[in-house]
Structure 1
Amino acid sequence: MTQTATAVLGGGFQLGIAILTLGLILSIVQREPLAQSIPSLGEVGRAVADGNAAGVIDVAILWMIAVPVMAALAIAVAFFRVREWLFMTFTLLVLAVLGVSIGIAIA
């Protein structure tokens, strides 16, 4: 179980660092300033599609936020597989709190 969480967290953060590095390199090459405000998800998508460095950096930040959520999901699945219902329930409650927090932040 810890191997799964370690793999998700380790691989996820390594990918996030790679995306962030790509965004910073694009920013330097394109001589583009970094964003001064928080864009909407739609604006992030458009910025990435346009090759905008700030959009790539925003994707990296969103990815870094998503990695712990994916790790918690992997842990919940692992608890389900070994029939640890109590721990699975607590993990799902943590995910629910995260979901509510994200929903409040977006609203």
Structure 2
Amino acid sequence: MGNICSFSISCDALFSHCADFTARKAAHINDLKDNILTLQTELQKLLETRNDVLRRVIIAEQRHMRRTDQVQGWLSRVQTVELEVAELISDNAQEIEKLCLG
């Protein structure tokens, strides 16, 4: 009879562990979705800033001024980030599906 009781406790502990794991996984998936939305918002802000800087650069170049290396480097880094974020966002749905199925 003692074996049955300890088995019951083990099952309860196992169920509790599984429930905790499922809750953490659901929270992780939800956090991933939230993080992707935040990433999209921040990318949009960055692109708006880039567009403002590009307008200023174009005006300056029309006045026969040259881009500084710092400005050109920043614009290049923005382009790299834009491509990386686009790739992350396109892979987002697949990653969430993997997490749900896994």
TM score, norm. by length of structure 2: 0.43
Which of the pair is proportionally richer in helix? 2
Larger radius of gyration: 2
| TM-score normalised over the length of structure 1 | 0.42
